[in-house]
Amino acid sequence: MIEAAHLKGLSLVGLADHGPRNIGTGVKNSQVYLEIKEEVKIINKEYIDLDIKVGAEANIIGLQGELDVSEDVIKKLDYLLVGLHPYVLPQNFNSAWKYVLGNQLGKLNKGQREKVKNINTKTLIESINKHKVLAITHPGLKMSVDYKELALACVKTNTALEINTGHKWPSLKDVLTIASTGVNFIVNSDAHFPETVGELDYGAYVLKKANVPPERILNAVKD
């Protein structure tokens, strides 16, 4: 991934693997992030023009915004992202029922869908109130959220919302709603393979349409 970033001429690249409670993907445990950080320190010596940051994309595993990455590891990383993913191991039965299963049942009926949307939004807001989060990843993807409520909470806590070019998410319509709150954005390729590192075109496209100035885009090149 670092080699791909270098070949594409990027000046900065961030590596943020999924948290350990993601089923099927992610690091084995929080300590792995620190190993990645050590490895990157060594690799970075070969790439003097590239600034390599190491972060985590933590999962929310409880209804009070609890994360699956420990606080002492977070402190040692360059940045923290938080995202909702449909397949995580929850902290306890209550969060399992309301949050993990809720999102599955949410596919069935409208009343349940609204309830689940509310829980998703609240847990995300709890997480950014509790932790210093750089950005919320792919808001609303597979786990619906109230965009306006979330964006307003992000403005208060100085948290950015991610435009995820890998999933082309959120849609232009939702970006327009979000942008009107004055929230900051970060554009991310969500590259899981070297081929898509630095692919940021969708983000540039929607943010231009929404008239978001570069000052509100964390990784925009400002000239």
Q: CA-CA distance, 28 to 18, in Å (whole number)?
A: 10
Of 54, 44, 52, 51, the C-alpha closest to 79 is 54
Residue 140 found at the interface with Zn ion (CB under 5 A): no
Q: What is the distance between the terminal CA atoms of the chain, rounded to a whole angstrom?
A: 26
Selected binder of Zn ion within 19, 20, 26, 83 (CB under 5 A): 83
CA distances from 38 to 6, 35, 43, 51, 75 (A): 19, 5, 9, 14, 15
CA 209/CA 191 separation, integer angstroms: 24
Instruction: Give the CB-nearest residue to Zn ion.
Output: 83
Rounded to whole angstroms, the Cα distance separating 210 from 87 reads 32
The least distance separating Zn ion from the CB of residue 42, rounded to whole angstroms, comes to: 27
Name the residue among 220, 209, 156, 150 with its Cα closest to residue 185. 220
Only one of the segments 1-9, 79-87, 121-129, 202-210 lies at the binding site for Zn ion (rule: CB under 5 A); that segment is 79-87
Compute the least distance from the CB of residue 47 to Zn ion, in Å: 25
Name which of 94 and 104 has its Cβ closer to Zn ion.
104
* 149-168 positions binding Zn ion, by CB under 5 A: none
Tell me the window of 25-33, 76-84, 107-115, 179-187 that interacts with Zn ion (CB under 5 A).
76-84
> Using CB under 5 A, which of 95, 121, 137, 144 touches Zn ion?
137
Which residues of this chain interact with Zn ion, rule CB under 5 A?
83, 137
